[in-house]
Amino acid sequence: MPVRVRTALVFLATWLLAACSGRQSALDPQGLQSDQIRHTLFIFLIIAAIVWIAVMVVLGIGMLRRKRASNQPLDLDRRFEEGSGRLILGLGIATVIIVLGLSFVSYAGQRTVFAKDENALTLKIIGHQWWWEVHYEADSPHQSFVTANEIRIPTGQPVKVELESADVIHSFWVPSLTGKMDLITGQKNELQFTAKNAGIYRGQCAEFCGLQHAHMAFAVIALPPDEFGRWRDHENQSANSPADPLGKQGEDLFRGRGCALCHNIRGTLAGGQLGPDLTHVGNRTTVAAGTLPLSPATLGAWIADPQHIKPGNLMPRMPLQSDELIAIIHYLEQLK
Amino acid sequence: MSMAADDRELRDESLDGLQLSAQLERIWRTPSGLLGALMSVDHKVVGRRYIVTAFAFLLLGGILAMLMRVQLAGPEKTFLSPDKYNQIFTMHGSTMMFLFAVPVMEAFAVYLVPLMVGTRNIAFPRLNAFSFWMFLFGGCFLWISFLLNVGPDVGWFAYVPLSSLQFTPTKRADVWAQMITFTEVAALAVAVEIVVTVFKLRAPGMTLDRIPLFVWAMLVTAFLVMFAMPSIMVASTSLILDRLVNTRFYDSSSGGHPLLWQHLFWFFGHPEVYIIFIPGTGMVSMILATFARRPVIGYPVIILSLIAIGFLSFGLWVHHMFVTGLPQLGAGLFTASSMLIAVPSGLQIFCWLATLWDGRPVYRTPLLFVLGFIAIFVIGGLSGVMVASVPIDTQVHDTYFVVAHFHYVLIGGAVFPLLGAVYYWFPKITGRMLSESVGRWNFWLAFIGFNVAFFPMHILGLIGMPRRVYTYTAEMGWERLNLLSSVGAFIFALSFALLLANVIYSLRKGARAGDNPWNASTLEWATSSPPPPHNFDRIPVVKHRDPLWADSESLPVVAGLSAERREVLLTSLAEAEPQVREASPEPSIWPLLTAIATTVFFIGSIFTPWAVLWGTPPMAITLIGWFWPTGSREDEA
Amino acid sequence: MKQTIVRNVAELPTFGFGPRSGPWWGAMGFMALEGMGFAIAIGTYLYLYAVNPTWPIGASPPDLWPGTVEAALYLLSIIPNEYTNRVAQRQDLPRVRICLIVMSLIGIVLLVLRGFEFAHLNTRWDNSAYGSVVWLILGLHTTHLATDVGDTVVLAVLMFTHHAKPRRFSDVTDNVFYWNFVVLAWLPLYFLLDWVPRL
Ligand code: HEA
Ligand code: HEA
Ligand code: CUA
Ligand SMILES: [Cu+2]
């Protein structure tokens, strides 16, 4: 290959694949299960590549080979007919052996991926059009709390998520940690995984669930166990009371302007259940189920007009004066 | 029996040559005028309409695909709103599967099977006409709804509860479900016709081991249709009932279950993909034999493979449901059964490769498409084997990896053979050749465009891109591959534009094709191009699997059929021994009227259950009209 | 292409009975796919049965008598049905006429009984998934029953007109054949609807 062509190809490939180890990639495993799956995937990939290349080579030789002696279509060579018959049969048997082998590889991988650990940390996740409700459940009820759209887990410890749906079917998928599992109306599914390394892993709803299926993401934040414990203790507490008058005004407006009809903020009078829990919303990394990174600006943009950012989502646009909006944002920001 | 009447009858042995042709043509031709055209029961006329209509739906579905590719070419594009996008991908999938891929294969069968088995018309020609009208009306119903903004938006498999009344309160899901009913009725009708045509109307001497491979493929396909489609009929009916009269099939609070839908859908849906693929393999076998200039190696192996694929395809549906939380061991068994289907598929590929090895290949456009088919389909099949693995599927399910898989198999496995078939049989159907030089451009643009469009989707799926998302953000790192894919899609679309231009040009200016321009071996090439209304002046007698290669001088034929009324020759199932000279129906307007009555019934019933009451009498009346004997000699024999 | 006549089929009949005729195979085809439809409906019933802890859901099982009487009548109807077949094969027009009238009457009685059966299902289609699937299955079978009765009546009428020509007898035998299918389909459905909820 001329050098120029090669450089161009390499360039093209790097340009295209620059982001391959992106934010939610099955090729960039950070968990025990995703690691196993990638391993299985590579075995399949290599065998598939070999089979395809073999077929292409045979096809190529078939095309380039010298022509048959006779040009009468029915004037066939007995030896070739019989030989090729045996060869086809042999290849058929080889295919049987390969697919049985692959089935075995697949099953072995499946066993590892779906292995159960009784001591797993248990979370319950309920899918909603188009956001995630997350329950941390513990033996004592005052250790249990609800949050949304963001899951924090300890590294190195198995996590079990119980999956349910409040409306249509969704699918829980964090490619860097493990494969997906559906959240099905009227059925309880579960999934276990273990994060190997600390980090923020993006997840996204994978089953088409209506208008805003594209914007039903979430973040899984894996923390070292002690840090996770601190977070959990903090998250378990009720919301901060606002420290300044603007914040207080925001808290009142949150009730007065109807937000509290849908949103719960523990420790306040806001107890709505239709939308995500906002008790510690200030600690989250994103707004509106992973649609925007969280900042005062994005929070404001969202509250000012949720239908612009995520058309069709179930939070209506609330009529707010701009000073009211500023107060609400200020309040929500403090909910850390 | 009224022997007396028979004795006075004009028989074909008392006429010959041009006289016989002219007489048969007079009896079998479609009446002139618009009314005549609407009454036609000629399988060639109906088949041609079917083919053109199916291609029109390909064009429509393809345009939708292009709109999606524009929307996805970059991050956060606002070319399409989420609502439009969801309607468009649903319409694209539904149009391609139900209005293009399945019907186009049946359309070719309607045209070709009677010619290939050497008979004068398909079995049940009126049912055939009815089937076409149902297909046309169903397709128009779907598309008109879409243009009125009530196009379905729940995906081509319309999972409940999303498609239930609660979450889709508009008529959109009803439109989808009823479109299914239309196309199923059409498909089931053709399936029965094909089975009976192949069982009973074969030319004398065409024993089971002399049936052309395309006909075998269509026979297996017809059985798949007959056993798979009832499942979706039950599914779509119960969905409509849930939506219209409050039944509770899918309502989990009253004992229903959403997974019931998935089982019913995929019990149909998986065989469905082989309903599309198997006819494609039949086309490949025919084209390959002609252009490799020898019979396909392993004729019995191919037939057994087809039958094996047919059987196995009913045991795989669960591989579409690996992430619904089914018991693990069961899921693992479906992995194995899914992968096993690689064996019969592989055997067919090996037979074709061997044929090519021993052949003297003539590289005309149809053969190019077959070679392209092999390269692409094997990739798609192997990615199928990958997604059949439970652990791998938990990652790639519902991502662009699966989108890549199924476009590789659908387009590689069915559309490429189909394009080859268009180039191959165009001369028979129209009497003119398609341009070979445009054909080469067509092929190369299609091959390159296709791979550029769809290969990147494998990678996109692995790096996390879910399917059915109307947009994505720049930081996901998907935009370059998506842009590349969109560029490829446009190249691919250009290749279709070339095909269309080639067709339009060649219809008027193409070189005249003789009876047998490719020097092929099967019976459709034994008559003129295009064939006369009665297909053959005399029914051929088959003594060899490749009759035109074996008897290249003169065709053995039978005599003794009526020359004054429509008559076909029925033969025995296995040995194809002549048994009966059966009358074949005359043109009739009733199939159209029945189709109209049925359409009114179907569309009415998505608005009110009372349609069942007022919609039935017109259907009953038109059906009686259809079957009521006209008193002509055909009917009264 | 040049042609050589190697056979003459002038002596063959112009219609046949059973597997020799085209329509018979058509009827076979439709029965196969309709049978598949019944099988799928049964599968649906059993699926719902399996996923629900109680069955029937919120209802008592259907009253036994309508289904049972129907089953008995169906089985008995095979006798006149087979007789119809025999006289049609013999092309015995007067007897065929009588038989078709008898078969039409039996069909109408069965349709009336079917009405009672719906009334005695003890559940509505919108009560629960159980009610839905029971109504679906019974409805499906009733459609078959009704179309076959309609077909029989039309044939009976034809046989009293000048259209009573030989090939009509072949149509009669196909109709007989189809009736057997309707009967045969009822037996498993009867067991499913009336007895499975009592298990
Ligand atoms: C023409 C259509 C067609 C064909 C032929 C196939 C063929 C196959 N398909 Fe595919 N499939 C679809 C159309 C098709 N599929 C569609 C439309 C969907 C998606 C529906 C949706 O969700 O919208 C789908 C989805 C789909 C899934 C579900 C994925 C998911 O949703 O997560 C699976 C999983 O098992 C699967 C598997 C297979 C397998 C194992 C084959 C096999 O038949 C392939 C066999 C062929 C080969 C393997 C190549 C030739 C063989 C050799 C050269 C021999 C050597 C081979 C080996 C040693 C392995 N398919
Ligand atoms: C046979 C079936 C078939 C075919 C041919 C195609 C063809 C194409 N498909 Fe499609 N596709 C599906 C079946 C098919 N697809 C299905 C089942 C789905 C799933 C839907 C769902 O999720 O519900 C899907 C989904 C799907 C998606 C995913 C959408 C999503 O998940 O969000 C995308 C995205 O790029 C896509 C792209 C394309 C493209 C670019 C083509 C191109 O190949 C199209 C090129 C064709 C043309 C541009 C038409 C040109 C035609 C002519 C000029 C006519 C010539 C006329 C004569 C000769 C008379 N398809
Ligand atoms: Cu939730 Cu897609
Ligand atoms: Cu499948």
Using a 10 angstrom Cβ sphere, with 0-12 exposed, 13-18 middle and 19 or more buried, the burial of residue A241 is exposed
Q: Separation of B259 CA from ligand 2 center, angstroms? A: 27
**Distance of alpha carbon A130 from alpha carbon B117, whole angstroms:** 56
Whether residue C176 has pLDDT greater than 80: yes
Q: Is A280 in the pocket of ligand 3 (CB under 6 A)?
A: no
Q: A295 CA distance to ligand 4 centroid (A)?
A: 45
**Cβ(B405) to ligand 2 under 6 A?**
no
CA B309 to chain centre: 17
Going by C-alpha positions, the residue among C80, C130, C139, C81 that lies closest to residue C111 is C139
Q: Which domain holds residue C106?
A: 35-198
Our answer on whether the CB atom of A278 is closer than 6 Å to any ligand 3 atom is no
Structure tokens at C24: 């018979």
- 3-state class of A68 per DSSP? coil
Ligand 3 atom index nearest CA of A170:
1
* Predicted pLDDT at A2: 66
Contact A51 B378 (CB under 8 A): yes
Phi and psi torsions of A226, nearest 5°: -70, -40
**Is C46 within the bounds of a domain?**
yes
Q: Do A40 and B391 touch (CB under 8 A)?
A: yes
Question: Nearest C-alpha to atom 32 of ligand 1 is from which residue?
Answer: B397
Ligand nearest to the CA of A53: 1
For residue A178, give the nearest of A125, A109, A231 by alpha carbon. A109
Q: Quick one: pLDDT at residue A18?
A: 60
Q: Which two tokens stand for residue A233?
A: 């203790």
In Å, what is the CA distance from B377 to each residue of B306, B340, B342, B348?
16, 17, 12, 12
Q: What is the pLDDT of residues C112-154, one digit of tens each?
A: 999 999 999 999 999 999 999 999 999 999 999 999 999 999 9
Residue B524 φ then ψ, to 5°: -60, -20
Q: Is residue C4 a part of any domain in this protein?
A: no
- Decide if A22-61+83-225 and A245-333 have a common fold: yes
- Smallest Cβ–Cβ distance between B230 and the set C21, C33, C48 belongs to C33
Geometric angle at alpha carbon B324, from B319 and B329, rounded to 5°: 60
DSSP state letters, B566-604? -EEEEE-TTT--EEEEEE-PPP-SHHHHHHHHHHHHHHH
CATH class for the domain made up of A22-61+83-225: mainly beta
Q: Give the residue from chain B lying closest to A28, CA to CA.
A: B463
Q: Give the whole-angstrom CA distance, residue B397 versus residue B324.
A: 11
pLDDT of residue B551: 78
Residues B184, A194: Cα–Cα separation, whole Å? 47
Measured in Å, residue A206 CA sits from the centre of ligand 3 at 6
Query: What's the gap in Å between B347 CA and the centre of ligand 2?
Result: 29
Give the nearest partner residue to C8 out of B1, B13, B226, using CB atoms.
B13
CA-nearest of A41, A222, A264, A247 to A133 is A264
* Residues A4-10, mean pLDDT to the nearest whole number: 76
Q: Which of C24, C31, C33 to mutate to test the interface with B (most CBs of B within 10 A)?
A: C33
DSSP state, residue C192: I
Q: Quick one: tokens of B614?
A: 């007022």
Element (H, E) at A254: helix A245-256
Strand partners, A192: A160
Work out the percent of chain C whose per-residue pLDDT is above 70: 100
Nearest chain B residue (CA) to A182: B324
C12 to B581: CB separation less than 8 angstroms, yes or no: yes
Residue pairs between chains A and B whose CB atoms are closer than 8 Å: 271
Question: In chain A, what are the domain boundaries?
Answer: 22-61+83-225, 245-333
Q: Do B560 and C57 touch (CB under 8 A)?
A: no
Q: What is the CATH number of domain A245-333?
A: 2.60.40.420
Q: Does B411 sit in the ligand 2 pocket, CB within 6 Å?
A: yes
Q: Is A76 on the interface with B (CB under 8 A)?
A: yes
What is the Cα–Cα distance from C98 to C172, expressed in whole angstroms?
Answer: 13
Interface partners of C (3+ CB pairs, < 8 Å)?
A: B
At residue B204's C-alpha, the angle toward residues B201 and B205, to 5°, is 125
Q: How far apart are CA A108 and CA A275, in angstroms?
A: 41
Residues 6+ apart with CB under 8 A from A5: none
Which pLDDT score is estimated for C13? 87
Kindly report which listed range (A266-275, B150-159, B449-458, C177-186) carries the lowest average pLDDT score.
A266-275
Q: Which residue stretches of A1-77 are H helix? A: 3-17, 32-64
Tokens of C36: 């598949």
pLDDT given at position C165: 77
Is there a contact between B557 and C2 if contact means CB atoms under 8 Å apart? no
Q: Give the separation between CA B54 and CA B276, rounded to whole angstroms.
A: 13
Q: Where are the beta strands (DSSP E) in A240-287?
A: 286-287
- Burial of B559-584, coded b for 16+ CB within 10 Å and e otherwise, reads bbbbbbbbbbbbbbeeebebbbbbbb
The pTM of this model reads 0.95
Residues in chain B closer than 8 A to A178 (CB atoms): 394
Tell me which ligand sits closest to the C-alpha of residue B400.
Answer: 2
For residues A208-234, give the mean pLDDT: 94
Q: Quick one: pLDDT at residue B386?
A: 96
Which of B255, B537, B578 has its CB closest to that of C52? B255
Q: Chain A: nearest CA to B192, how far in angstroms?
A: 33
Alpha carbon of B83: minimum distance to chain A alpha carbons (Å): 6
Helix, strand, or coil (residue B476): helix
CATH number, residue C82: 1.20.120.80
pLDDT band for position A299 (50/70/90)? very high
Q: Is the peptide bond before A130 cis (omega within 30 degrees of 0)?
A: yes
Name the DSSP letter for residue B532.
P
Domain count, chain C: 1
Assign 3-state DSSP to chain A and report helix, strand, coil percentages, each to 5: 45, 20, 35
Q: Which tens digits make up the pLDDT trace of A320-330?
A: 888 999 999 99
pLDDT at res. A15: 67
pLDDT at C18 over 80: yes
Give the closest of B195, B230, B242 to C40, CB-based.
B230
Shortest Cα distance, chain C CAs vs residue B37, angstroms: 25
Chain B CA closest to residue C52: B255
Contacts by B47-51 with C-beta closer than 8 Å and gap 24+?
B47/B107, B47/B108, B47/B110, B47/B111, B47/B112, B48/B111, B48/B429, B49/B132, B49/B136, B50/B103, B50/B104, B50/B106, B50/B107, B50/B110, B50/B111, B50/B132, B50/B135, B51/B104, B51/B107, B51/B108, B51/B111, B51/B429
Rg (CA), chain C: 21
Tokens 């165009």 belong to which residue?
B426
| Closest ligand to residue A170's CA | 3
Please count the other Cβ atoms lying within 10 Å of the Cβ belonging to residue A115. 12
Answer yes or no: are the C-beta atoms of B130 and B595 closer than 8 Å: yes
Chain B residues touching residue A114 (CB < 8 angstroms): 328
Picking from A213, A292, A298 by the largest number of B CB atoms within 10 A of its own CB, the best residue to mutate is A213
Residue A142's pLDDT band, with cuts at 50, 70 and 90, is confident
Taking residues C72-95, report their average pLDDT.
Answer: 93
Q: Is A145 helix (H, G, I), strand (E, B) or coil?
A: strand
Instruction: Report residue B413 as tokens.
Output: 């496995």
Please tell me the residue having the least CA distance from ligand 2 atom 35: B69
Q: Is B416 in the pocket of ligand 2 (CB under 6 A)?
A: no
Among residues A20, A19, A33, the alpha carbon closest in space to that of A176 is found at A33
Phi, psi of A200 (to 5 degrees): -105, 120
Mean pLDDT by 10 residues, chain B (637 residues): 52 81 92 93 96 97 97 95 96 97 97 96 95 97 96 94 94 94 95 97 95 97 96 95 95 94 96 96 96 94 96 94 90 92 96 92 95 97 96 96 97 96 96 95 97 97 96 92 96 97 95 92 94 94 93 86 90 93 91 96 92 90 85 56
Q: How many CB atoms lie within 10 A of CB B362?
A: 13
Q: Atom 36 of ligand 1 has which residue's CA nearest to it?
A: B384
ipTM for the assembly: 0.95
At C105, which amino acid appears? L
Element (H, E) at B131: helix B125-147
Considering only CB atoms, which chain B residues are within 8 Å of C126? 245-248
What distance in angstroms lies between residue A159's CA and the mean position of ligand 1's atoms? Answer: 33
Contacts of B251 in chain C (CB under 8 A): 129
Quote the pLDDT of residue B612: 85
Q: B161 and A185: CB-CB below 8 Å? A: yes
